[in-house]
Amino acid sequence: MEITDNHFHLDPDGRKELAVKDFLNSGGTRLVLVHKPYEVWKKIEDFKKQVKTTLTLASKAREVGAKVAVVAAPHPVTLVKLLDCNSFSEASNLYLEAVSYCTHLVNENEIVGLGELGRPHFPVESKIWKLANEVLSESLSLAKEVDASVVLHTETGTPQVMAELAAMASKVNFPKNRLVKHYGGPGSIEDSNGLVVSMTTSLTNIRYAANRGSDFMLETDYLDDPKRPGAVMGPKSVPRKTLRALDENILTKKQAYDIHSTIPDKVYRDFN
C-alpha cells in the first residue's frame, strides 16, 4: 500500500534525505515535496535559484527511494514582504512573474503543480488583503492554463473560508478537485465546498474526517528546519498514524487507499 505525505518540506540546511529515510523506514512511500522560501527574495533570479534548490532536494529524496511529486510557487507571505520595497503594481507583477516561471516548470514536467499559493494567514490592511485575493485569482488562472494542481496556504479553514476559495476557483474555472487546502482542520472538512482537504496527521483529525465520510489527504507540514527539529510534525508521523488508525479500526482499508492513492493520484497525477 502507498503511504503519501501530502505536504513535506526539505531544507538545504536541514536533514534532507535523512528525514526522507525516516519517512520511508516508518512505512512511507510517497512525498508531495513543497517548495518553501529559504530566505527573503527581491529579484526573480533569486526565486528561480531557490526553486532549483527544491528540485535538487527532490532528486536526493528519490535517490534514497521515495516517490516524489514537486509543487512550487512564491509563498503568499512573499507578496506582503515585496510590498516593503515595491509599489502594489511592482510587487504583484514580480509575484506573478514568479508564478509564471512555475507554470513553465509544469510545462517542462519538472513540477506537477503550484504551491504554496494563497493569501496571508494573519491580519493585514484591507488594501493588502484585496491585492492578495486579486493576485491569487490571477495565479489560479495561470495554473489552469497549464493544467496544474494548486496547494493553498491561507487563514484557518472554516466553511465560510472554503466557500470563498471555492467561489474564487469557480470564477476562473479552476477545477476544485485539484485545489488543495493545506493545513486543513475540522473546519475545512466540515464543508469543503468541493476543494480537497489535506489534514494534519493527528488521530483526532483522522477520526473526525473518517466519521464524516469525507475525502481527505494527510500531511505533516514537516519543515526540516535545523532550528526547530520536528516542526510542524516529524517525518515519521503520516505512516505511523496511518498504520495505527488501521490497527485501531479508525480507518478502513478502503479509506486508507483513498487517502494515500486515489485522491493524491487525481490531484497530482504523477509521482516519480
The rounded mean pLDDT for the chain is 97
For the segment 139-149, the average pLDDT, to the nearest whole number, is 98
pLDDT digits (tens, 9 = 90+) for 157-192: 999 999 999 999 999 999 999 999 999 999 999 999
Place 214 in a pLDDT band, splitting at 50, 70 and 90: confident
Domain that holds residue 70: 4-268
pTM of the model: 0.97
pLDDT digits (tens, 9 = 90+) for 223-266: 999 999 889 999 999 999 999 999 999 999 999 999 999 999 99
Q: What is the pLDDT of residue 128?
A: 98
Identify residue 126 by its one-letter amino acid code.
S
Contact (CB, 8 A) for 155 and 184? no
Closest by CA to 65, choosing from 31, 112, 113, 32, is 31
Q: Is residue 215 scored above 90 in pLDDT? A: no
Contact (CB, 8 A) for 31 and 68? yes
CATH of the domain at 143: 3.20.20.140
Other Cβ atoms less than 10 A from the Cβ of 192: the count is 24
Q: What is the pLDDT of residue 164?
A: 98
Q: What is the pLDDT of residue 264?
A: 98
For the segment 100-122, the average pLDDT, to the nearest whole number, is 98
Specify which residues 150 forms β-bridges with: 114, 179
Mapped onto helix, strand or coil, the DSSP state of residue 50 is helix
Q: For the chain, give me the number of helices (H) and strands (E)?
A: 11, 8
Identify residue 145 by its one-letter amino acid code.
E
Tally of domains within the chain? 1
Q: What is the pLDDT of residue 251?
A: 97
pLDDT digits (tens, 9 = 90+) for 42-96: 999 999 999 999 999 999 999 999 999 999 999 999 999 999 999 999 999 999 9
70, containing H or E segment: strand 67-71
Q: What is the pLDDT of residue 109?
A: 97
CA distance 124 to 23: 37
Cis peptide upstream of residue 40 (ω within 30 degrees of 0): no
Contact (CB, 8 A) for 23 and 239? yes
